[in-house]
A and B are shown apart, each in its own frame.
Chain A
């Protein structure tokens, strides 16, 4: 990657969009001042060398992911941009408060939905929306979970609107991934810009593994002290396998596949060289559908026959619980602000992107009339798949989606296109603005712990607003500053 400008940011153009580093008039925001000064003094050769070292480091360590459907199917290094995204303490405080509020409401919602369903009876949310949700698990109604917590690990995606306000784009309450990149990016940055850390006052991310382990231990059945926790992975062909292995190692717990576990007498055991060892808590990175061939997909080769019976018997705890998908359904998303009001009697601290629901007749009419201006999403897809970006789409793609929406309106939502904030990013010899989002990781155990910062994902293609790794995204280190 060649850098040709000696003073990297001289030619930078915000193009009228909200920029993380620069104000509208081109002045550097105060919390980026120190970064600007460092970048102005760095030579092209020095930066080239640092980037080469980083790439080699990532490749050697195997910090990779695989893109499904890619012809080579090979492991790739997750592209990393060395210019960090910086968030001042006061901004972060708002985000943190907003996220705590949100996850509290979501957990209360899930408890309610799987018990009395008061929010439906009070008609705050139409019953049909919830009961028809693809990931609502009626088999789990009236089944208790330890400590009444459903989502233990949540990745909530945030973007910044043109005026700089943070908006929630979506919650990921089933198998959110990406935290390993946060931790590895931080280690890499310490090598690239060692001196900046002390002078800038960046909050550490080192406690994540300990907090995560604490969360898992907190939900052990019968509050068992010193519970046996394991991480259940689909296997090493999964794109996030590196993360599964990484987190298991950091926490000092076993990483298991379905075939390593066996259920006997409604208890879960690991097959070890010394015989069977009981398991109390499972951090499962496996979708509900594959968990137990006796209850969900019978053809699943990844699950544990009888696991659900052990969960119902209260002998094993799952993080996240079964059935959380109803809360991160993109249609349910439209009602989260109402949940906050209903369960907490508060106004939402973090706003959402205005959302039209295709199952509602009026909204549907609007959507179908304005497809070229909207972003259309399928209710339960992830990875940037199943999406239409109106202004970028061809006539055929638009017509395809028209058909899909008409055939299955419950499954689609639409939002106005938000050209969310951009950040200076190294690209082919220069520094240009690229759209970024933010995924903080929220742990709900005895307390709610939020990792300072989170994963900042960058849409590396010029003008693109799709940041997912599977669609050509990259990442940056995220610095949350200590209060000055």
Chain B
């Protein structure tokens, strides 16, 4: 398939997953707030600052909202159009990517994505958000899951489908690791989060039921890390996602698993080995923060290598063909040229 199309499908999936995970995070943060016993604003910031830090938006937030409140953060991360990481913007990107490769996805996939986007940008969503933000997050999560279900049921298992799964799992691995380390930012006492906070982390990942069934008792650092980082059968665990990344990379290249044919497969394979033989004890000893930082670095590098293997070709003249998204003026000029009159 066209490299650009593979890239678009991959990013459509990543942005969709990003939107869903942010909704999960914000929803869980909201609930944590309601459960929490402290109501002083300092402690309230402790719940929200990590969210801003994780997306590197604390400065931007402070600029737009010099006297920002908790409500402002929620709005900023969900609906604000000046925040490129807000849920709305992630969905917009997902939709834009889908629109340019419309012929590669099923009509039902497009319709669902479009509906979700029309919802999040509607006046109705704004009102609902102001009254009961949880319903908006519910809708986003449900919409994303529906999108995946539709994809699963309507898209042939072509190369395009493989790239979608690849993007989804890469993003999911990254975001699950962020669920884990986000609360660590706020804890004054390093890794010693209370069980409320561990429960909140499990909730973000829809993992409470599984935890209770497989581990039981009050959530602890070891239990949660074992489940979300190292579980072989929980679909949101980092190890599970990385294994899937390997499967899809090998399906695309046609190489048998256990060997590698390009740098992306090599990096994914090595990461999987680390996760296959890792443990929560090792993570805690290292420091959760440091461990997840390293992990996120590797995932980042992996993304870069996927791009270089399948999208970028050696003959490419970067200045003409691949425009970084930050280069808005160049993009605007291209947009204008595209808008030529047809007869």
Contacts and interface: CB of A to CB of B under 8 A. Distances in A.
Of the listed residues B99, B110, B333, the one surrounded by the most CB atoms of chain A closer than 10 A to its CB is: B99
A61 interface: yes
Nearest to B343: A172
A272 B343 contact: no
28 contacts: A60-B111, A60-B114, A62-B102, A66-B339, A68-B341, A174-B343, A177-B342, A234-B339, A235-B334, A238-B338, A238-B339, A239-B339, A257-B4, A259-B320, A259-B321, A259-B322, A260-B4, A271-B4, A273-B6, A273-B310, A286-B340, A287-B340, A302-B334, A302-B337, A383-B341, A383-B343, A385-B341, A470-B341
A222 interface: no
A66 B335 CA distance: 13
Contact of B342 (A61, A240, A256): A240
A200 to B, nearest CB: 29
A175 B217 CA distance: 69
A433 interface: no
A383 B96 CA distance: 26
A272 B2 contact: yes
B3 interface: yes
A245 interface: yes
A29 interface: no
B195 interface: no
Interface residues of chain B: helix, strand, loop or mixed (majority): helix
Contacts of A236: 96, 99-100, 338
A293 B337 CA distance: 13
Interface stretch (A205-213, A247-255, A348-356, A418-426): A247-255
Contacts of B114: 60, 62
B342 A382 contact: yes
Contact of A237 (B310, B322, B338): B338
B343 A68 contact: no
Contacts of B1: 272-273
Given A254-B2, A272-B1, A175 B342 contact: yes
A61 B99 contact: no
B2 A68 contact: no
B159 interface: yes
Interface in B285-343: 310, 313, 315, 320-322, 333-335, 337-343
B252 interface: yes
Chain A interface: which size bin?
35 or more
A221 B310 CA distance: 30
Interface in A266-295: 270-273, 276, 285-287, 290
B233 interface: no
A60 B115 CA distance: 8
B214 interface: no
B37 interface: no
A445 interface: no
A165 B96 CA distance: 46
Given A236-B99, A300-B337, A61 B2 contact: no
A264 B316 CA distance: 12
B343 A238 contact: no
A155 interface: yes
A140 to B, nearest CB: 20
Interface of B: 1-4, 6, 96, 99-100, 102-103, 107, 110-111, 114, 159, 252, 310, 313, 315, 320-322, 333-335, 337-343
Given A62-B110, A259-B321, A273-B1, A237 B6 contact: no
B287 to A, nearest CB: 39
A176 B321 CA distance: 27
B97 to A, nearest CB: 10
Contact of B343 (A66, A175, A260, A273): A175
A249 B3 contact: no
A271 B2 contact: yes
A301 interface: yes
A258 to B, nearest CB: 9
A262 interface: yes
B166 to A, nearest CB: 11
Contacts of B310: 273
A326 to B, nearest CB: 14
Contacts of A276: 313
Interface of A: 60-62, 66, 68, 155, 172, 174-177, 234-240, 245, 248-249, 254-257, 259-260, 262, 264, 270-273, 276, 285-287, 290, 300-302, 305, 328, 381-383, 385, 470
A447 B45 CA distance: 73
B260 to A, nearest CB: 17
A68 B103 CA distance: 24
Nearest to A66: B339
Interface residues of chain A: helix, strand, loop or mixed (majority): loop
Given A237-B338, A273-B6, A176 B343 contact: yes
A236 B107 CA distance: 17
A285 B339 CA distance: 12
A234 B335 CA distance: 9
Given A259-B320, A259-B321, A260-B3, A273 B339 contact: no
Given A60-B114, A61-B107, A273 B338 contact: no
B103 to A, nearest CB: 4
B283 to A, nearest CB: 35
Contacts of A155: 343
A245 B338 contact: no
Contacts of B335: 235, 237
A61 B109 CA distance: 11
A234 B341 contact: no
Contacts of B110: 62
Of the listed residues B2, B4, B96, B107, the one surrounded by the most CB atoms of chain A closer than 10 A to its CB is: B2
B2 A260 contact: yes
A273 B79 CA distance: 36
Given A175-B342, A285-B342, A382-B343, A272 B102 contact: no
Given A287-B340, A328-B343, 14 more contacts: A61-B111, A62-B102, A174-B343, A177-B343, A234-B339, A235-B100, A236-B100, A254-B2, A271-B3, A271-B4, A272-B3, A276-B313, A300-B337, A301-B333
Nearest to B96: A236
A248 B2 CA distance: 14
Contact of A302 (B313, B338, B341): B338
A68 B339 contact: yes
A254 B2 CA distance: 8
A237 B333 CA distance: 11
A236 B103 CA distance: 12
B4 A290 contact: no
A235 B337 CA distance: 9
A301 B342 contact: no
B339 A237 contact: yes
Contacts of A174: 343
A262 B315 contact: yes
A305 B317 CA distance: 11
B250 to A, nearest CB: 14
B2 A270 contact: yes
Contacts of B3: 260, 271-273
A363 B333 CA distance: 41
A60 B103 CA distance: 15
Given A301-B320, A301-B334, A302-B334, A238 B2 contact: no
